[in-house]
Structure 1
């Protein structure tokens, strides 16, 4: 059977309630051996056994395209393409449409990315759902309707080898059975779910139409990004808003869904909501703060494995239909939506049918649910990992498990092959009287790891750590060891819009009790935190695994006779101190939310991070006698917390709403508040904020009004930043990559230039104008936070931030909701305990590389005479021999690791040796 891949979550299944589609227009089938319709093409027509006779073969970077195609696109609603992907992983395709409407550019085109799954499939694009840009909230910059009658270009390009055939246009309509009324609720421009009638807040009831709103005391609508399907992606909510439908008198079944998929940090949290029919309440739900947390963390302890039915596991639990029966006596069914706010009584759509039509009504609903499920799986492709074999695939005797060692820099995938070298390394420790050895300074966190390949199911694995002791009896307590295992989770892979996911090693959870399925690996990640007052020495102990597998791992920890200094530059992640959920939502959860913020910042400090930013720390309260008034209560609380935890680099964001209004004002706002000019208003709004922060002992505020502007938008920010500086000596910041001169001009007027892609010339230009340079998004790695940042600091970079600390979209444990994946590095459980991604532990190792380098350079500077001076001279030569070879000139090139993990380990070991000698 040919699989079907469907972009934008639409599948038209042929059911009893759907019309069979016919091929209305074949654009290209390549059967004559020519490219035909596609005049501008780099592909090759080939004879294929995988598709129907002949197809066009595209290789990496190639495309097929046509200029000004003579097609009446508006007569169709579906584009279909047959595809064959010879690889064992999905291949990303880019469908691009351009019309004649200026301005021209990427975000004025329609760009859709979709993946062709391995083997043969059919790709479908639903034409009415296509929008300019990439269709997401961050990149849909051009809201103009696309001019399908003025098509200038249609093309398809690929990131991998693929065969394409039978480009065709179809008109597919899905009908609704007689007597069944089906409505899809959403904004006026929604893409209506097939077989339903669209309803927007503007749909007013009249007898001729037979449906619409008869009362709208309060009514809202919203479309969400990347919901499971078009039916639940949008909704209409209300408070005392009545939707009326003309129906026959008698008993009717009402079927509906009322779930908000959420977006960004927002998760639906309804203190109460209900739906009334004919004046009686038929659906009613309430939620307490504790119930909300139960809902939010429902999947917090869920582990995923390849091939699982994630739609059933996640989507069906999240989106559950409601039904009730109501008797209509007057020929009109009135449904009233009630909830305290716009995100509460969020009705996605309604199906209504009389008792006499129960059979066809239930069949129609079943077809809706089937199409929703199929649409999901046609817009998401799972990248299945290859099942690795254990040492050539053979296991002898009655072995149920095989321990092995893998370098900390390399992940352990669920089905990864295990090499003989990895098994031998573990064998040497477990059997041949070798020992797993690590070194750590006082106060340092140092990890080690081992894994087990499950030859058979291992349902109960228990881990314990002994006290560690020196030969003369000093003790490193067992409580210093944090035992975790890596949990697998399905995550988006590659570009989020292409619809590929797979099961990956994700977060580190409590590993004292765990399990492993047959044919999979389980990885332990154990971190020792050496107390700051721990005596130096070599401590020996064991890590024991018992239960379904039994073995003991001898370990020695060498505690070094010194502490590491904190990094002397700002090292952080965006969103530091954030929580999940981000807001308390319920008053009873406010104390938990505050405790979560403290835990979050504390956890960041434990990972060596030194930089954070205070957002929403000040609020504008109005004008009094011509003076702008601000409340700094929240900022003072957060600043004291960050300082108390040891952060050395702290920014505070300026108030944005009033500040931006002042910058945009052409005079009316200034006049309203009694100022002589717009410039006078800007000066007061910003200077009052700056002076108030200083009076309250807070950092000087920094204002940010955007993110990553292109050259076309950069002059707006240049003007704002220049006015702030000239009128009020106010500081500005923005994250971007300088490209053309407009974005380079930002380097002259932006107080904190927060740069992604940059070079030494950019950095010097910013500093020449008195500005500070931060660096962003160079990698979630040991290299990026370690010696690469050392070179960046030497070049004048003051701080580094990676996206992001705790970035969640709706449900943090379901990664396919919202526009992009959850990008955080740490996730809480139901009780608020934080679980890091493996990447965060590698970041800490990088920060420690930096701290060791800083410690040695300081010791070298302090060693001025005698034997210490000779050791210091040798150490300096060694540092120069390593660090002198590293480049920091252009971040696009140099952010790629310039040292292997083994080289970094050898460097760390050598630096430790010098520090020990200098400490004696």
Structure 2
């Protein structure tokens, strides 16, 4: 059925933490009611969501009413449903973190709620089209015993099962790969690391894991750290296969010798900053991380996927908070969260996720659909996107600069083309 949901959005300029530090807080929902009171200097925007599940093609209408003491404003909403289905995201795309954290120092004290939130978390990611996420593996290994005994595999098996049930394409082990050791700089022998990897591979085959990428080092800096990082990454890469891969996360700068060395020796670099021309010419497998905005999940992502050997896309942040039980008042990092929990154990996605990530993925899927069409007009638009889509930070929707106008023009061109093709198919069907 066709329905309009309306939520008031609050944007408080600053919030003060207990330590006295103030910070800017991003937009968040205040309510999910069908009607609500808009308060002066608190609500600057109302978020409307139109749902059209299982509706046949056609035009549907609704009405939003805004009342004040002096007047009543009625805003008509018209929605046209076309006879097209967007393809699913075709490679791993998702957030860092996969769990919902409410208060980290009470972890394990309410296992029922934590498990409920975990299952809701994977269902929510699947429902919005995300296909990968990261997790903290926290493996515990007794290196003195042979064969190696690895604790923590049951938890990873559980996460893998949830990921498979929710149509994920991979998982990423990031941060705390070991519970009390550092994978990048820890004192491990190469022989022990090989035994550990072989044990993981056996578990992967036994339990039919999805592909797992393990981030060995995260932004190593300084000559000594970099030297150790390069050595550890090279060692672990020797044991990589199609289902278990190792990489380092860093920002590539072609002018810096340090990052050039790590890039050249990495089989699967996770890159924050990158050189588009080099990636295009090298056709080196890589994963794009961070820079969470509409373009880098939309038309820009499509361009990277088509022109480079991009393997996955992952960015901050599904859910991360400071663990403060008074998170409604302070310390919760809502401004980087894509999803938060409600008191009843259900989840609410953030304004940021819907305005940037999901709208971006819709752009990506539109371009993906366009690439399957034989229409000459479709080929021209696809070529234009592949050549000119922005891969830098996208402006906030509503800021009408050149990049935003270009992306809006592509959307209009694509939707206009799909509408005309849909009308043509309808006419042909009626004439038979």
Cα distance, 1:484 vs structure 2? 1.5
Provide the C-alpha distance between the structure 2 equivalents of 1:542 and 1:719, rounded to a whole number of angstroms: 62
Cα distance, 1:582 vs structure 2? 5.1
Q: Is the 8 Å Cα contact of residues 26 and 334 (structure 2) preserved in structure 1?
A: no
CA deviations 1:227-265 (Å, max 9, x no partner) are xxxxxxxxxxxxxxxxxxxxxxxxxxxxxxxxxxxxxxx
Against the structure 1 CA distance between its residues 575 and 875, is the aligned structure 2 distance closer, same or farther, given a 3 Å change threshold?
Answer: same
Which position in structure 1 is the counterpart of 2:338?
Answer: 825
1:562 corresponds to 2:74:
no
Partner of 1:758: helix, strand, or coil?
Answer: coil
- 1:902-917 alignment runs, 5 A limit: 902-917=405-420
Cα distance, 1:718 vs structure 2? 0.6
Which position in structure 1 is the counterpart of 2:429?
Answer: none
Q: 1:603 aligns with which of 124, 127, 133?
A: 124
Cα distance, 1:660 vs structure 2? 4.9
Cα distance, 1:845 vs structure 2? 0.9
Which position in structure 1 is the counterpart of 2:236?
Answer: 724
User: Scaled by the length of structure 1, what TM-score is found?
Assistant: 0.40
Which position in structure 1 is the counterpart of 2:32?
Answer: 510
1:756 corresponds to 2:279:
no
Provide the C-alpha distance between the structure 1 equivalents of 2:237 and 2:23, rounded to a whole number of angstroms: 46
Cα distance, 1:851 vs structure 2? 0.5
Which position in structure 1 is the counterpart of 2:428?
Answer: none
Partner of 1:906: helix, strand, or coil?
Answer: helix
Cα distance, 1:685 vs structure 2? 1.9
Cα distance, 1:561 vs structure 2? 0.7
1:681 corresponds to 2:203:
no
Cα distance, 1:790 vs structure 2? 1.0
Which position in structure 2 is the counterpart of 1:539?
Answer: 60
Cα distance, 1:883 vs structure 2? 4.1
Against the structure 1 CA distance between its residues 700 and 541, is the aligned structure 2 distance closer, same or farther, given a 3 Å change threshold?
Answer: closer
Which position in structure 2 is the counterpart of 1:413?
Answer: none
1:645 corresponds to 2:166:
yes
- 1:579-658 alignment runs, 5 A limit: 579-581=101-103, 585=107, 587=109, 589-616=110-137, 619-620=140-141, 626-630=147-151, 632-652=153-173, 655-657=177-179
Which position in structure 2 is the counterpart of 1:487?
Answer: 10
Against the structure 1 CA distance between its residues 570 and 662, is the aligned structure 2 distance closer, same or farther, given a 3 Å change threshold?
Answer: closer
Structure 2: any 5+ residue segments left out of the alignment? 396-400, 426-432
Provide the C-alpha distance between the structure 1 equivalents of 2:21 and 2:180, rounded to a whole number of angstroms: 40
Provide the C-alpha distance between the structure 1 equivalents of 2:281 and 2:409, rounded to a whole number of angstroms: 37
Provide the C-alpha distance between the structure 2 equivalents of 1:553 and 1:911, rounded to a whole number of angstroms: 26
Q: 2:328 aligns with which of 799, 810, 813?
A: 813
Cα distance, 1:586 vs structure 2? 5.1
Provide the C-alpha distance between the structure 1 equivalents of 2:180 and 2:170, rounded to a whole number of angstroms: 27
1:744 corresponds to 2:260:
yes
Partner of 2:304: helix, strand, or coil?
Answer: helix
Against the structure 1 CA distance between its residues 648 and 731, is the aligned structure 2 distance closer, same or farther, given a 3 Å change threshold?
Answer: closer
Which position in structure 1 is the counterpart of 2:368?
Answer: 854
Against the structure 1 CA distance between its residues 488 and 793, is the aligned structure 2 distance closer, same or farther, given a 3 Å change threshold?
Answer: same
Q: Is the 8 Å Cα contact of residues 571 and 801 (structure 1) preserved in structure 2?
A: yes
Provide the C-alpha distance between the structure 2 equivalents of 1:910 and 1:793, rounded to a whole number of angstroms: 21
Structure with bigger gyration radius: 1
Structure 1: any 5+ residue segments left out of the alignment? 1-475, 667-677, 861-871, 889-893
Cα distance, 1:602 vs structure 2? 2.5
Provide the C-alpha distance between the structure 2 equivalents of 1:504 and 1:644, rounded to a whole number of angstroms: 32
CA deviations 1:525-546 (Å, max 9, x no partner) are 1212321x32110012223456
Provide the C-alpha distance between the structure 2 equivalents of 1:643 and 1:748, rounded to a whole number of angstroms: 33
Q: Is the 8 Å Cα contact of residues 319 and 340 (structure 2) preserved in structure 1?
A: yes
Which position in structure 2 is the counterpart of 1:796?
Answer: 309
Provide the C-alpha distance between the structure 2 equivalents of 1:517 and 1:829, rounded to a whole number of angstroms: 23
Against the structure 1 CA distance between its residues 658 and 798, is the aligned structure 2 distance closer, same or farther, given a 3 Å change threshold?
Answer: same
Cα distance, 1:823 vs structure 2? 2.4
1:529 corresponds to 2:42:
no
Cα distance, 1:831 vs structure 2? 2.0
Provide the C-alpha distance between the structure 2 equivalents of 1:728 and 1:854, rounded to a whole number of angstroms: 30
CA deviations 1:848-903 (Å, max 9, x no partner) are 0110110111123xxxxxxxxxxx01221233345433365xxxxx4455854444
Against the structure 1 CA distance between its residues 741 and 788, is the aligned structure 2 distance closer, same or farther, given a 3 Å change threshold?
Answer: same
Which position in structure 1 is the counterpart of 2:351?
Answer: 838
Provide the C-alpha distance between the structure 2 equivalents of 1:766 and 1:793, rounded to a whole number of angstroms: 14
Deviates more, 1:843-852 or 1:621-630: 621-630
1:876 corresponds to 2:388:
no
Q: Is the 8 Å Cα contact of residues 614 and 651 (structure 1) preserved in structure 2?
A: yes
Partner of 1:516: helix, strand, or coil?
Answer: coil
Q: Is the 8 Å Cα contact of residues 91 and 131 (structure 2) preserved in structure 1?
A: yes
Which position in structure 2 is the counterpart of 1:776?
Answer: 289
Against the structure 1 CA distance between its residues 814 and 720, is the aligned structure 2 distance closer, same or farther, given a 3 Å change threshold?
Answer: farther
Partner of 1:538: helix, strand, or coil?
Answer: strand
Cα distance, 1:500 vs structure 2? 5.2
Cα distance, 1:715 vs structure 2? 0.9
CA deviations 1:311-352 (Å, max 9, x no partner) are xxxxxxxxxxxxxxxxxxxxxxxxxxxxxxxxxxxxxxxxxx
CA deviations 1:540-559 (Å, max 9, x no partner) are 22234569785443221111
CA deviations 1:194-234 (Å, max 9, x no partner) are xxxxxxxxxxxxxxxxxxxxxxxxxxxxxxxxxxxxxxxxx
Provide the C-alpha distance between the structure 2 equivalents of 1:749 and 1:519, rounded to a whole number of angstroms: 53
Looking at secondary structure, tell me which structure has more strand per residue: 1
Partner of 2:78: helix, strand, or coil?
Answer: strand
Partner of 1:514: helix, strand, or coil?
Answer: coil
Which position in structure 1 is the counterpart of 2:430?
Answer: none
CA deviations 1:347-367 (Å, max 9, x no partner) are xxxxxxxxxxxxxxxxxxxxx
Cα distance, 1:612 vs structure 2? 1.6
Q: Is the 8 Å Cα contact of residues 299 and 385 (structure 2) preserved in structure 1?
A: no
Against the structure 1 CA distance between its residues 484 and 810, is the aligned structure 2 distance closer, same or farther, given a 3 Å change threshold?
Answer: same
User: Scaled by the length of structure 2, what TM-score is found?
Assistant: 0.80
Looking at secondary structure, tell me which structure has more helix per residue: 2
Q: Is the 8 Å Cα contact of residues 293 and 360 (structure 2) preserved in structure 1?
A: yes
Partner of 2:161: helix, strand, or coil?
Answer: helix
Partner of 1:801: helix, strand, or coil?
Answer: strand
Against the structure 1 CA distance between its residues 482 and 616, is the aligned structure 2 distance closer, same or farther, given a 3 Å change threshold?
Answer: farther
Provide the C-alpha distance between the structure 1 equivalents of 2:170 and 2:343, rounded to a whole number of angstroms: 31
